[in-house]
Chains A and B, each alone.
Chain A
Amino acid sequence: MRAFFLILISICVLPLIVRPVIATEIWIFAIFGLGLNLLLGYTGLLSFGQSTFFGSAAYVAGWLLKHYGINVFIALGIGVGVGALSALVVGYLCVQRSGLYFIMLTFALNQLFYFVAYQWTSVTGGEDGMQGVPRPEFLGLDFKDPLVYYVFVSVLFLASLWLMKRIVESPLGRILQAIRENEVRAGAVGYHVPRFKLLAFVIGGAFSGVAGVLYAMLFGIVPLEAIGFVFSGNVVFATLIGGSGSLYGPIIGSFVFIWLSESMSVVWARWPLLLGVAFVIVVLFLRGGVVEAWHRFWTWRRSSKPAT
């Protein structure tokens, strides 16, 4: 409950501290992270190609928005659909493998999609990206206003968070966590493990697709990097830094990642060096991410209080 209020407060306060565009991007990235974390944190699947679903949905929705004038809600539906469908295809190929194979496969398939997007310049614009993605108004809501769009995205984020909470606390969520803990035993108990992994993929893909569509509408462009491995990597790292063991990890990770990269890039051109160092430090000393560090801190505080 406390977490929920904290989030609600940050939603209200954030646009006062940073520009609405950056604030919106943070929530979009958080939705992206939630999708990834269903796979990474809950099912134990390190999917290193999430931008496949993010980017594919962005391109398809962007195309339809641009050339067929669909409205924002249909665009979101497209996001869910394309994200889920692409995840189904990729997931089907990947869940048959585990461990390192799985990771490499997701990465390599991501590259395949990337190069297809790169070549299909008539549709995607290739290197230049798909430019001129509109944000049409609907039902009197002028989404072009940065603040209106921010509220819209925040509401969607809250809905995503609520939905993800329901999923992970449901029987499905428990099964996924069981798979994460011990795949063989979960299979022995009678669960068709590959099918559940595929389901996790599809759901994660749907969330990624929504994030992708929102991203396209935010910047009015679907850049090629939206389907590239750097984006895939970023969401994984942000989630790990936030803490993949918690529902809220991706949210914190999104904050930390976007805020830091934006503010550091102005100060030092070579800031990726610091980012790399941060990764190394997190891995060696702060493995649960921010969430873990927070728990450790509170445990330490409680234990160092004198007994009454």
Chain B
Amino acid sequence: MNLLLGQILNGIATGMLYALMGLGLSLITGVLNIPNFAHGALFAVGAYFLVSVVGVLGNFWLGLLLAPLGVALLGLVIEYAGIRRLYSAGHDYQLLFTFGLALILNELIILIWGPVGISHLPPALLRGGVDLGFTFYPKYRLFVMVMAGLLVAATWLFLEKTRYGAIMRAGIENKEMVSLLGIDIHRLFTVAFAIGAFLAGIAGALTAPIRGLSPQMGVDMLGIAFVVVALGGLGNLLGAIAAGLLIGVAQAVVAAYWTEASTAVIFAVMALVLLVRPQGMFGIR
């Protein structure tokens, strides 16, 4: 029983991270309507930026702030210089472009930081663990869970409670209408992409002390992010959160009984849900 509870807790922790990734991707695909295959690479860049910032400034918290900002800036540049030209291009070219970007970013990571994996320790404050009774749980993971939750909540608040957020949600539903209303649709897209990139970057930065860094680290996350978006419904932000938690918990619980299948379960859950509800759990037909 304790194992099950421990796995569920773990599932929620990893699920929050998945939700964060899915949220960013859902925003980008929902607003811009492009398949962003560079999302995993942005995740990786966030992690590597963290290591560099901490290496220079010596402070993890500053790193956690500056690294995702750096990724957001990168996202701004990417959107402005490249993706902006592709909105009418068709998904195949958007895919080719973002995939090409992913390759470029991946190789640049290897060129700049080397191909060898890097370890990065959590800040001293968050080392060690906490005895929760049913399990002994690392402090840093609890922190990540809380942090991811806060970020998700903040994003949701932004989208639900602010005017610009409302514009963005309107943009997800009907771009034409939004631009007809006189709103600069291009700026909307840029901001959406930058926010999505920020979320990917901070997910990467948060993950770095847990998983370590390697140039490949974005590849697995990309697949998971897509599952979250497919399950949660494109552009559906609550859906992304729910889906992230669902697959995180599913993965953790299955690991308790059939460890080898725990990663495959993510895709199996997705296939099952989509069989029953092709639009995802919360998607609109």
A-facing residues in B83-119 (Cβ within 8 Å): 85-86, 89, 91-97, 99-104, 106-108, 110-111
Q: Give the distance to chain A from B57, nearest Cβ to Cβ, in Å.
A: 29
CB contacts (< 8 Å) of A272 on chain B: these are 103, 106-107
Known contacts A272-B106, A276-B102: A104-B92 contact under CB 8 Å: no
Is there an interface contact between A283 and B267, defined as CB atoms closer than 8 Å?
no
Among B35, B103, B110, residue most surrounded by chain A Cβ atoms (within 10 Å):
B103
Which A residues lie within 8 Å of B89 (CB)?
A: 283, 287
Specify which chain A residues have a CB less than 8 angstroms from the CB of B97 in the assembled complex: 279-280, 283-284
A276 to B82 CA separation, bound complex (whole angstroms): 13
Given contacts A99-B91, A100-B29, A109-B271, contact A240 B85 (CB under 8 A): no
A109 engages B95 (CB within 8 Å): no
Q: Which residue of A lies closest to B274 (CB)?
A: A93
The CA-CA distance from A120 to B263 in the complex, in Å, is 13
Interface size class of B (residues with CB under 8 A): 35 or more
Chain A min CB distance to B93 (Å): 5
- Knowing A99-B91, A283-B86 are in contact, say whether A278-B267 is a contact too (CB < 8 A): no
Least Cβ–Cβ distance between B282 and chain A, in angstroms = 13
Q: Which residues B197-227 have CB closer than 8 A to chain A?
A: 223, 226-227
Chain B minimum-CB-distance residue to A281: B100
With known contacts A97-B279, A101-B234, A237–B99 Cβ distance under 8 A: yes
A103 within 8 A of B: yes
A114 to chain B, nearest CB (A): 8
- Is B3's CB within 8 Å of the partner chain A? no
Interchain CB contact (< 8 A) of A46 among B95, B102, B229 = B95
Give min CB distance, B176 to chain A, whole Å. Answer: 16
* Contact among A40, A112, A119, A270 for B271, CB-based, below 8 A: A112
SS class of chain A's interface: helix, strand, loop or mixed? Answer: helix
Give Cα A103 to B33, complex, Å.
12
> Does A275 have its Cβ within 8 Å of any Cβ on chain B?
yes
A119 touches B264 (CB 8 A): yes
Residues of B within 8 A of A50 (CB): none
Number of interface residues of A (CB under 8 A): 40
- Bound CA span A84–B87, Å: 34
Given contacts A93-B274, A103-B35, A275-B103, are A119 and B86 in contact (CB under 8 A)? Answer: no
Within 8 A of B (CB), among A253-308: 270, 272-273, 275-280, 282-284, 287
A270 and B96 within 8 A (CB): no
Chain A residue contacts of B192, Cβ below 8 A = none
For the complex, give the distance between the alpha carbons of A48 and B96 in Å. Answer: 11
Instruction: Check if B223 sits within 8 Å of A270, measured CB to CB.
Output: no
Interface residues of B (CB under 8 A from A): 29, 33-35, 82, 85-86, 89, 91-97, 99-104, 106-108, 110-111, 223, 226-227, 229-230, 234, 260-261, 263-264, 267-268, 270-271, 274-275, 278-280, 283
A residues with a Cβ closer than 8 A to B are: 40, 46, 48, 93, 96-97, 99-101, 103-105, 107-109, 111-112, 115-116, 118-119, 229, 233, 236-237, 240, 244, 270, 272-273, 275-280, 282-284, 287
Q: Give the 9 A-B CB pairs with smallest separation, nearest first.
A: A279-B100, A276-B103, A112-B267, A115-B264, A273-B107, A276-B104, A276-B100, A283-B97, A96-B278
